Every structure is written in structure tokens, then in C-alpha cells.
Structure 1
Amino acid sequence: MSEPTRESLAAVLEEIALLLEVEGANPFKTRAYRNGAEIVRTHDEDIIALAKADKLGGIKGIGDALQQKLHELATTGKLEFHQNLRGNYPDSFFDLFELEGIGPKKVGALHKELAIDSIDALKKACEENKVAGLSGFGKKTEQKILEAISRREQFADRFRLDDCTIAAEQILDLLKAHPDVLRAQYAGSLRRSKETIGDLDFIVATSKPAELTDFFSKLEIVRDVIVHGDTKCSIRLENGLQCDLRAVSNDQFPFALQYFTGSKEHNVALRSLALKQGLSLNEYGFTAAGKSTQHDPIPSVHDERDIYRTLGLEFVEPELRENRGELEAADSGELPELIHWENLRGTFHNHTTASDGKATLEDMAQAAIDLGLRYLGIADHSKSSPQANGLHADRLLKQVEEIKKWNQSRGDELHIFAGSEVDILKDGSLDFDDEILAQLDYSVASVHNAFSLDEKAMTKRIINAMENEHITMIGHITGRILLRRDAYAINHDKLIDCAAKTGTIIELNCNPKRFDMDWRWWHKARDKGVICSINPDAHHPNQFQYLRLGAQVARKGWLRRQDVLNTHSLEEVQTFLTTPKKERKL
């Protein structure tokens, strides 16, 4: 039995609440389990120890029945009530909750009325027009379900950057620990920090390639072996992610790493440049192309930097290798000095239990301190997001006072900025009036509904928010959910121009389900003078770790330290935020 954690206990309670809602249970009972999950996550004392000792009595929100269940969970690692509830459904049933726009009540209705227990069964029912006739559905909902299923199928072989990073680093540690490995690194689109990944590539330098491919094929995390040869092995993990290992000599390693990092377009351009200098470049090394070369003899290559140096180029960081001007910049000496995640000194756009966060203000602040941050922005949802327990003005101003008290007592450890994630309403107006917004340190304006507006209307909607002097930054500018929901239609060019003109920051929302604004637009925004804020949109202390991924994606967008608000000192940020919007400079 693995040791129970707060998160494992909370996850069980949340799944119970989900299944009870599916079954149409009393909403008070459902809410009790969700509240219980929240208490487990945020209670000040060691709730695992209290649950094991059966000493949860007296904690508000945890009644006798929940005390017994938490005791059973903490001591045995499982809960009979949960297992019996879950046992009513096949594993495929839980895939239904991953579809965009289908909540527990709709899943429950589909299961009750049509015995639907899988995505395949749901697709078939929609295609046969059986869903449209159900109460609360209709033809439009049926079509949206089919579109959600289509998106899921389209991205079935794609994985998010965070999931791939965790798997890759786990495998890389195992490879580096092998006694016959001289050098090892992951390559491919993960090394280039693409927002979604198709598969993982690993390169190892070794004098015993067959031993390494055999070792790779027998890793405990392997679900099945696709290909197993003396120098290459392909495996599939439990989640379906394919991983390829290539074993090469130590001399070949830098060439293989460069080649399999890609991108294909970057490599084609690099090989073309090599040919102009009389060299042929491939995954094994440099050779003379034709009868003569300007490189005589061909220089020795020990690492990737030597490859670029041989061709008269500055080293191109992996994130930039997309054939989007990086080779021209490397040739002219104009590559940017890219941001590093260690440059980040604080973060904005974070949530607490005041709205839909999973931790209290105190817990979020302590996690920021533990991470070494100097300042933290709290931007809980505004009132037009009731699904996220959005704050009305009175609750928001109460939170502002709470933050002031924190800064008076513990501001030397961490300064908290009081903000709000303010809904941009359908007509472009804001969820709070200027009088309320003026009492905040900053604000994040975001779209959370009416995603189907056309490009012109949606662009105007966001521009209206940018033109408000109290709006500091725009959150998740396209609303996309990677692998689940497409971006709504906007004109990036117009929004970037407006941000530059009005002094509005555009966030790089580094929650790995978003990475929004897309990295492909950041180079242009940077050149226009638009300031970025790398924000995790954290709803839990663990999600501050997304800042590392955010910096990687910012690097991919050619961003430098000076382009990002939250690389600056507390004093600089305070001055920035108290300066009239159109006059702000970093």
C-alpha cells in the first residue's frame, strides 16, 4: 500500500461527489464530499495523522460519516464505499468526463436514459440522433458533443508538455544511472518545448548499444515493446505515449542529438547552409561534400555547440529551432539572451479557496515563499463566474483587507498584490466597475463565456477591456484548452497592437492545458514593446511549478528577461503598477 497523501484522499472524495452527482443524489450530500476534499487539502494540522488516529472530530465540515471514511482511507489506502460506487461503471465510463462541455448531470442522464458508458457508445448514439431527443440536450448539444469527440480523436496521439516532461525526466534519470551510458539526453519536440508532444526521443552514447536497448525494453513503466533492435528500441508507456531510444557512439552523440531534436525545417536549413560550405551534415557527423570544403580538415565536434560553431553560427538554443529566423539571427550575432525560469521573482493570476482555488491565501503564500518567490498576485474570479464561486465586490474588498494585513505582518517575507480576474462580459464591459477596480493593485481581464462570437466581435470585446485604465493584463487570450477545446476566434495582430498602444500586459498563461498566448506570437509582441507576465493560473500550491514550463515556452517565443514583468524586483514592480498605465516602462 502506498502512503496516503492529502491529494490522494481528496481525489477519492471528489470522485465520490462526481459519481453521486451522476446518480442524482441529494446535492447536500454531494457538496459534503466536495467540501470534505477541500478541508483535506487545506486543513492546518496533519490531517493524515488525525485521520489515521480517528481524531477528526470537531473539524468543521467533517461529520461522523466522513470521519469514518477518511479513517478507513488513511489506514487501508482504499474505501469500500468508493470502490462499490466505482464498481457500478466500467473504466471507459470515466472517459466521458474528459469531453468538453459535458458535466456530471449530463453524463448521468446519458447513462440512465441510453445506457451510455463509453465515448464510442456516445458517438454512436449522437450519430443516430438519439441524444438530441433527451430532455436538456437538443440538436445543438448533440452536435457539440460530436465536435468534442472529434477533437479528442484528433489529438488521441498527442500529449501535454507537463506529462511528457515528467515521463522523460524519469526515464532520463534511469538511463543516466546505467553504467554503460556515457551521455544521455531527450530530444525531439519535448526538448524544443512544444506545447503538445507526439512521442519522446532519447539519445544515449554508449559502447554497448545492444545492452542499452535491452535495458530500455525492460523498464518497469513499459506497457509493450514496439521495436527492439541492437541500436534502436521503441516502447509504449501505460498512457499510450511512445518512447524511442537510439544508441550511438560517443562521437556520434552531438550529431544525433542535434538531428533528432529537430525541427525538420530547422535541420533542412542547417544542412543547406553546411552544403554551401562544402560539408554534408547528418545524424552521424560532418563529411566533405564534393571535392573541396572551406573546412580542411573538418573540425572535431564534442557537443552541439561545435556543430553550429563549425558553420560560423552562434549556438541556437533548442527552443528556437523552428526555422523562424533563428539561423539568420545566429549568423548575424543577433540571437536573444533568453529568459531562464530562475529569473522569475514572482507571479500573478493565482486563485485561492475564496473562488475556485484548492488552497487558502495563507497556504498559497507559504508555497510561494518556499519556492523562493518575492511577490505573489492573487486574482480570484469575479461574480459573473458563479461556477468558480466568483467574488462579489464585498467579498473582494474583504480579501483586499486580508492581504493588507498580511503585508503589514509578513510583507518582508513575501509581498502579496491584491487583484482580481475580472470577467470580460459579452458586450465588452467588465464585471466590476472602475470604482472597485481602482482599489486593487492590479487586475487580469479574461473571457470565460460566449466563446462563439465571431473574430471581429471577440477582438473588439477584448480591446474594450485593454482600453480600460484599470486593466493591467489580459488573461489566456484565446481561451484554448489544449487537446480539448479550440481557441476562440481573435485577431492577434490587432490585439498585440492594442496592447502596445494602451500599455496592457498580455499574460503567458503557463498552465500546461493552456500556454496562451501561443508562443508563435510572442516574438512579434516583444518587438512591438508588449510586456509579458508568465502566470501559472495556479489553483493549488503545486501548480507554481508550472512557472518552469512557462519560462521554457517564453524562450520558444524569443522572450528575454527584460520582456517579462515578473522577472523584475518587487520595488520595480510596485513602481510599475502605481504608474499611470500608458506611462509604464520596464
Structure 2
Amino acid sequence: MTKTNDIVRRLEEMATLLELKGANPFKVRAYQNAARSLMTHDDDLELALEKGQLTKIKGVGPGIAKDIQDFFHTGEMLELKTLRESFPSTLFELLEVPGLGPKKVKKLFDELQIESLGELEYACHENRLVKLDGFGSKTQEKILKGIALLKQRRNTFLYPEAFEQAHVLLQQMSKWKEIKQIEIAGSLRRRKETIHDIDLVCSADQENAEVVMRRFVNLVSPNDVISHGTTKSSISYRGIQVDLRVVKESEYIFALHHFTGSKEHNTLLRGLAKKQGYILNEYGLFKGESLVKCQTEANIYEQLKLDYIPPELREGLSEIEMSKDHQLPNIITLEDIRGIFHVHTNYSDGKNTLEEMVRAASERGYTYIGISDHSQSAFYAHGLKEKDIDAQFIEIDRVQKQFPKIRIFKGIESDILSDGNLDYPKHVLKRFDFVIGSVHSRFKMSQEEMTKRCVRALENPFCTILGHPTGRLLLARDGFQIDVQRILDVAKKEGKIVELNANPHRLDLDWRILYTNRNDCPYISINPDAHDVEGLSHVTMGVSMARKGGLTKDHVFNTKTTKEIETYFARQRA
């Protein structure tokens, strides 16, 4: 029956692909019926093939019989192979989402160019499905819940998803009387953009270690306990693996440092310690048999004649050499950010009104905000026509009077067309204080073509900021092919700004690129790409990526004062 089951699965897949293709419904139904019929067919299919009797099986016509014959002879159905090649392989992930059948997936693919689970999630967060025929806000919410469940099974999460669960655990466990100290460690503490598991390190008296472990594993059902030990246990907490280590109070700071990592950083640091006559591990820093007392991680580095290295920089790159030479950058902090750009409102695909976004930014202490809804080419996001721009400018002037302490800059996120032009004529573009040029289509151009496209946009006198420069969506889509070094060089030459898009699904530019180019890069603007009030908090993640990239406040455009921003924009427009 194994081959019969294989054939049934292929016939079902054929029906799905034909429906995605928009084929005749009768043909789709024929494959569905044949699959159902073969599920209950007890006789030997291979024997039926040899006798030329496949078409005598209920639901199997000449065309489907030919498909079955192909499978027996070649191990594949030729038409199925052709159909598979006509769609991105990631498209089939969408069919795993509860409530999404082939018809709805076809609509998402045809109208919003959604090809993967990650792109679907991003589209939901940008409210692209709300006004799509056959969907709406309730369907969008159900889809997001379905995606969350699927992601739990895949064990890779965006940083904010993992941090939220870790923070809940930290708050709860820090109240346990048996625990003296507890902190997040691992890649989460180093602010990696994607996370596989959560590492927690805590200290407790030896007699309480077992109690802590028991309480920890009791946070979940027995089925979600991965391992239960005396010093280390693991559970699956809301779909994410959480590892807890309990150590003595004297070992805590060393264990926290060790399990923060990275492995590469630890290896280099242990090597340096050995050269200086020390032994460094998760239990302590030892000189011979004696433990060197360290109350903080800074003390560990100090003993090794190093400046303190923040967790975000501990990736085994050049941080130890820089620390030794007192050349570590004074990396940016969240408090350095004075204002934000790349903010959407309900004029395009944002959830909140312009007034609500400005109020929220003002309440967060920002002194300026740059409104930048989608432009006219972004039909999927209800991009602004010229009459919409007129209306928004009138509203901005009105809201500005209500909020005199925060400067509202008039901007737009203008699509970079395939030839590198922006999608408004000059007389429209010159009305804005700033323009973010972004690629939202034709992602599969060659590196040479895409680089020329973005270079031309940067050379446009009206383009102020290059948005999400590589177009990547984490866990969904690789960035398009582009010569990033050329883009950074042109941006610096033209006096333009490059975006660090802080949306957790993007985090584009990648921090590794920032780290490599930190000594010779154009201004970087940490932008939330916010589509609702909550999205303004994306800046926090953007700052984390800038810190990993070794950026200081001097690298970052939106650490400037309002007056400096106004002067910069005026000079660009001159």
C-alpha cells in the first residue's frame, strides 16, 4: 500500500496546484475524487497497470491513469513536476495555516505577491489583508494565530517573540524566595535577530537548587518537560525551549558570562586568560588553585586587562583586540534617539490616525516624527495619490498646532521603480521634507541591475533615505542581490542616509554589514517602520542591532536635534 499512499498524496497535491493555477474546477475535482477513491482501493495498483485496467477504478480517467503510469515508471508524475516548478516552493507553507485553502492562497499570491509564511505574517502586521476581498480584520487575526502555532513547531523565533516569553518567566521566577539572582543569557542577551531557545542562569543555595528545578519544570505540563536535572533542566514554554542552569552564588557571574557566549568570544577570552596565567570557565577565574573574586562581568574583563565588552559585541569578531587597545566604540543607547522617521498612518496601511501616532511619539519623549505613508505605486497598501497628499498635509498642519513640542516632518515612502526612478514627478517630490526610497517589487533582478536601480534612486536629489536596503524578511525571504558596499559608498558620496529598518521582521541593514563598515559609512537612521502605535517600540530592537554593529550616536541620523534635522533637510532641498 506504500505506493498507493504515495500516489494519493501526489494526486491531492496535483488538485491543490491546479486550483492555485486557476484550472478548470472540473479538472481539480477529478483529481480530488481520484485521490479519495484510491484511499479505499484495496487491490494491487501495479497489477491493474500491467493489465491495462487503471481506468476501471472509480474516478480514474485516461489522464489520471497516465499520471499513475508515469509514477510507476519514473517515480514521479511529469505534470505534477511541471506544476511544482511554476510556483515558489515556499508558497505551500501558506496551506498549512488553518483556514487558508488554495483559493485564498491564490488570491494572496496574485494580489499581494505573498510567497511564504514570513511574508504573510509581515503583510498581516502591515494590515494588508484587512481590505482584501474575502479576508478582513477577523481573518487576519486568525491567520496570525495560526502562523504563531506553526512557528512554535519550527523552533525558530524572532527576537521580540522570544524576549516576551523570557521576560514573563524572569518576572515570575525572580519572586521565588529560593532564587538569589536570575538573568537571561545566550543569544537572547546578545540580541541576536533570531532565537532558537531561551537560556536562563540563576543562583541559589545548594540545598535549594533541587527546589528551584522542581518549581521550574512544574511551570509546564509533564509532556512539555524536555529534561529534569539537579543543575540544568529544559522545558518547552509556549513552544520555545527554555534551559535553566542553577549555580552557587560564588559562580553566578562567571556562569552568566559563560552562558551568554558566544562560543567564539569565550574561546578567544579563555585563550587570552591562559596566556596571562589564568584559567577561565563557567565556574570562575582561577590563578592556580585560587578563585579570583569578581562581583560583576566588568571585573572579569578588568582582571584580564580589558575594557568591559557589552553582550551585544561578544561575537568573536574583533572586540577583544579593540578592548585590549581601548578602542571599543561607545555604542549607542536608546536614550540617544531623539526622534523617528518611517511612520505609517491610516492614510495608507497603518492602523492608527496621524494624530494618534504623533501623540504616542510625543508621549515617548521624541522631539520629532517623520510621517511617511506609502506612495501611489503601492496599490496593495492604499498608497497616496496627489489629492491624498493634499489632505494629509492639511491634517499635519492642524495636528502640529495641537502638539507644538514635537516637530512633524512631512514625508513619503516612495517606491523605487525598476528603472531607479521614484514613483512621483518632481513637482510632487519637492513638496516633502524628506523622501524614503524603497524597493517593493521586482526583487529577482540581477545584482548589477538591482545595484544600478538603487544607485540611481540615491542620486535622485529628492531621495533622502534608502529604506530597508536589502529587502530581506527574517525567516521568510532572503535579501535581494545587491552590492551593499557600492550602495553605502554612493550614499556617503551623495550625502544620503541609509535606513536600519527596526521592524523585527526586517532588521535591515544586517548588523554584520554595519559592523564591517562602521568606520566609513553614511548616516544610518534607525527607523521603526511603524504601522500602529505599538510599532513605535520597534526602535528598541533597531538600537540593539546598531549596538551589535558597533555604531555610536555619531553614526545615527536620528540622534540629531530638531534644528540639526531641519538644517540637513533644507540643505538637501537647496
Q: Normalization by structure 1: what TM-score?
A: 0.73
Instruction: Report the AA paired with residue 330 of structure 2.
Output: E
- Of 489-498 and 561-570, deviating more is 561-570
For 1:230, the equivalent position in structure 2 comes to 230
Counterpart in 2 of 1:66? none
Secondary structure of the corresponding residue to residue 579 of structure 1? helix
Output the TM-score relative to the length of structure 2: 0.75
SS in 1 for 2:515: helix
Which of residues 559, 570, 580 is equivalent to 2:572?
A: 580
Q: Is the 8 A contact 2:373 2:383 kept in 1?
A: yes
**Bigger radius of gyration, 1 or 2?**
2
Opposite residue 164 of structure 2, the aligned amino acid is: I
After superposition, what is the alpha-carbon deviation per residue over 1:419-463, rounded to whole angstroms, capped at 9, x for unaligned? 000000111111112221111010110000000001111111111
Give the corresponding residue for 2:157: 159
Answer yes or no: is 1:303 the counterpart of 2:302: no
Q: Contact conserved, 2:376 with 2:383, CA < 8 A, in 1?
A: yes
1:298 CA displacement:
5.6
- What is the rounded CA distance, in whole Å, between the counterparts of 1:115 and 1:197 in structure 2? 40
Aligned to 2:324: 331
CA distance in 2 between partners of 1:138 and 1:335 (Å): 51
- The equivalent of 2:142 in structure 1 is none
Aligned 8 A contact 2:438 2:468 in 1: yes
**What secondary structure sits across from 2:154 in the alignment?**
coil
Aligned residues of 2:117 and 2:476 also touching (Cα < 8 A): no
* Residue number in structure 2 paired with 1:386: 379
> What percent of counterpart residues are identical?
38
- 1:546 counterpart SS class: helix
Unaligned ranges ≥5, structure 1: 1-102, 117-124, 292-296
Alpha-carbon deviation of 1:529? 3.8
The total of aligned residue pairs comes to: 460
1:379 aligns to what SS in structure 2? strand
- Do the aligned partners of 1:222 and 1:238 also contact (CA within 8 Å) in 2? no
Choose from 86, 89, 100 the match for 1:140.
86
CA 1:570/1:260 → structure 2, altered by over 3 Å: closer, same or farther?
same
Asked if structure 1 preserves the Cα contact closer than 8 Å seen for 2:198 and 2:243, the reply is yes
> 1:244 maps to what in 2?
243
Distance in 1 (alpha carbons) for counterparts of 2:555 and 2:454: 22
- Give the CA deviation at 1:221: 8.5
Relative distance call for 1:142 and 1:331 in structure 2 (3 A) is closer
- CA 1:428–1:277: 2 relative to 1, 3 Å: same
- Output aligned runs, 1:419-498, within 5 Å: 419-498=411-490
Aligned to 1:33: none
Q: 1:129 to 1:142 in 2, by over 3 A?
A: farther
- Paired with 2:453 and 2:260, the residues of 1 have a C-alpha distance of 40
Answering whether residue 351 of structure 2 is matched by residue 358 of structure 1, we say: yes
CA spacing shift, 1:381–1:141, aligned 2, 3 Å? same
Alpha-carbon distance in structure 1 between the residues aligned to 2:472 and 2:448? 18
Structure 1 partner of 2:272: 273
- Which digits, 9 at most, give the CA deviation of each residue in 1:152-184, with x for residues without a partner? 999932110010111111111112111111111
Aligned to 1:178: 176
C-alpha distance 268-528 of structure 1, shift in aligned 2 (>3 A): same
CA contact under 8 A between 2:258 and 2:266: conserved in structure 1?
yes
Deviation at 1:568, TM superposition (A): 2.0
Residue among 492, 497, 511 paired with 2:503: 511
Query: Which residue is 1:537 aligned to?
Result: 529
Task: Tell me if 1:395 matches 2:401.
Answer: no
Residue equivalent to 2:111: none
Output the amino acid matched with 1:226. Answer: I
Partner Cα separation in structure 1 for residue 20 and residue 189 of structure 2: 37
Gaps of 5+ in 2: 1-18, 34-70, 94-114, 119-149
Q: Is the 8 A contact 1:222 1:236 kept in 2?
A: no
CA contact (8 A) 2:502 2:508 kept: yes
Distance verdict in 2 for CA 1:521–1:155, change over 3 Å: farther
State the shift of 1:411 in Å: 4.2
Classify the secondary structure of the residue corresponding to 1:580: helix
Q: Contact conserved, 2:502 with 2:526, CA < 8 A, in 1?
A: yes
Please tell me the residue identity of whatever aligns with 2:166.
A
Structure 2 equivalent of residue 190 of structure 1? 188
Is the Cα–Cα contact under 8 Å of residues 201 and 260 in structure 1 kept in the other structure?
yes
CA deviations 1:257-312 (Å, max 9, x no partner) are 111111111111000100100111111112246x9xxxxx7631112111111100
Equivalent in 546, 549, 555 of residue 557 of structure 1: 549
Farther-moved stretch of structure 1 (462-471 vs 568-577): 568-577
Distance 1:115 1:507 in 2: 49
Contact in 1 for aligned 2:187/2:261 (Cα 8 Å): yes
Residues 132 and 220 (structure 1), Cα distance of their counterparts in 2 relative to 1, 3 Å cut: same
Deviation of 1:220 after TM superposition, in Å, equals 5.0
Deviation at 1:197, TM superposition (A): 0.6
Structure 2 letter corresponding to 1:393:
E
Q: Does the aligned pair in 2 maintain the 1:223–1:237 contact within 8 Å?
A: no
**SS, match of residue 343 in structure 2:** coil
CA distance in 1, matches of 2:555, 2:221: 40
In structure 2, how many angstroms separate the alpha carbons of the residues matched to 1:221 and 1:453? 50
Structure 2 Cα separation of the partners of residues 104 and 370 of structure 1: 47
Equivalent of 1:321, from 291, 314, 320? 314
